[in-house]
Structure 1
Amino acid sequence: MNNFFKASVQVLPSALVKTPGAKKTGRHTPGDKTTGKVWLVGAGPGDAELLTLKALRAINNADIIFYDYLVSEDIRALFPSHIPAHYVGKAKNQHSIKQEDLNQLLVTQAQAGLNVCRIKGGDPFVFGRGGEELLELRSAGIDAEVIPGITSASGCSTYADIPLTHRGLSQGCTFVTGHAEKSLDVNWAALAQLNHTLVFYMGLTRADEIAAQLLAGGLAADTPVAIIENGCRKDQRDIISDLHDFPAAVVREQVQSPALIIVGEVVRMKAQLQAQIWQHSSAESLLLA
């Protein structure tokens, strides 16, 4: 964790009102009466090459950057060295800053005349609390813009050669968060009967509950399940199981966060869609013949 955020939350806003170094945006000088701007930026699921040009432009035009836990090392390496960048992420049971304090922090930084890049993993509006932050900024009259990012369900499933929808297998896809204070507030019976691909974000610690509830709702025990660890990163790992066994697979394979759980018949497509080594070898043989 960034040492900057080991200080108490109460002093964060005043501690973070900083004047950047030599960087100037041309729009304003930090400290003048002009209010800055906030970009809520989706960084995508991990691969730096999946950043949009608009996201990269916001990063380069910022006076200060606040980044989340899921913003990968490869993406952080693109942050200009002269722009202060501070970790404000939330891992399980490890929150560097309360959400309400972070919301206010974005406001105070913009009011101080800074251009702020608030960068999040995936997309800001898909389980990213971007709506909460934007509401606070709008209420304060701050100029703010949301820049979409590729959400983990799309990026990770594609990198795993698993389509989220496929004719004859699934005509819809439902995203579900596995994060909850106590039990998940989900209509499990309805979810099980949708005949959709189900994608669970932040569901590792809820694997037993997810499996039990979907089985009770009527999904077959042999329904295929993919667990994608570190999706869209160099160390991505795809673990294929079924609804009955996947909680045990999470433990057996020592799966670590970030990980995505995909439930549905589309998982069976992976074997057909993934690149085959023998195909490449055959092609090379033909070229050499």
Structure 2
Amino acid sequence: MSDNPAAIAAAEIPPGTVVLEARDIVKDFRGKREGLRRKRMRAVDHVSLQLRTGRVTALVGQSGSGKSTMGRILAQLIVPTGGELLLHGEPIAATRGRKYINYTSTVQMTLQDPFASLNPVHRISYVLKRALRIHGHATNEDDAQEQALELLRKVELTPAERYLHRFPHELSGGERQRISFARALAAQPQVLLADEPVSMLDVTIRKEMLDLLDNLRRTENLAILYITHDLGSARAYSDETLVMYHGQVVERGPSAEVIDNPQHEYTQRLLAAAPDPSRRRHRA
């Protein structure tokens, strides 16, 4: 095994190992001006969490709760106002250069809108091969071609050859989201941050997409953060659930306990407004 834990494949790390940790994260944004001063808005208020290999952590909350902002901080798309991130126990401060590239190879994020995140002028082959080259996993064109096909198979787009030369507009919403997962896997990450991965998809294919995410959790030994507003899917697909409200984590624990016996008033309100989670399948 490599001396650098971030440089090894997730499959080589024991399940349950903490890969990414956030400690006491704070994020303030500049708000509207009030007189001579500009008000500051706190989007994330002293949030801590750990992501472990082979485990899914759900970050649940309504729009404006701070959950997506927290995801972007973990992806280093946003710099926090306070707190720290640790990768395999080592503080991460780099926002550019080689250390930053290494971090983004280890921690990948998929966004809510798969169409907006895919360049419409490039074929899927370009999207996947470019990701492989950026992260140093393709030695030549033949290697890139074969790996791109294997990535498509991993996200269950088969026969893979049929999808490789298509453009994003030729794919359904579910297929585009699978391409987003494939592009993330091209980095050979240990952590996958999935921000509302099914909220823009037709209800008939949401379960298929969550089943795929669960399969990737098992086969790739990924540490997954599942960002969602849906308590039912959090109950079915995650090991731990954290509930965010006004930037704070107001409740956390094993998903079954949090959702079957919510203690905080906000969690109770979310549950009352959601379909009965006991009707969803429970993850084995």
TM-score, normalized by length of structure 1?
0.28
- Structure with greater Cα Rg: 1
Highest relative contact order (Cα 8 Å, sep 6+), 1 or 2? 2
Between Structure 1 and Structure 2, the one with more strand by share is 2
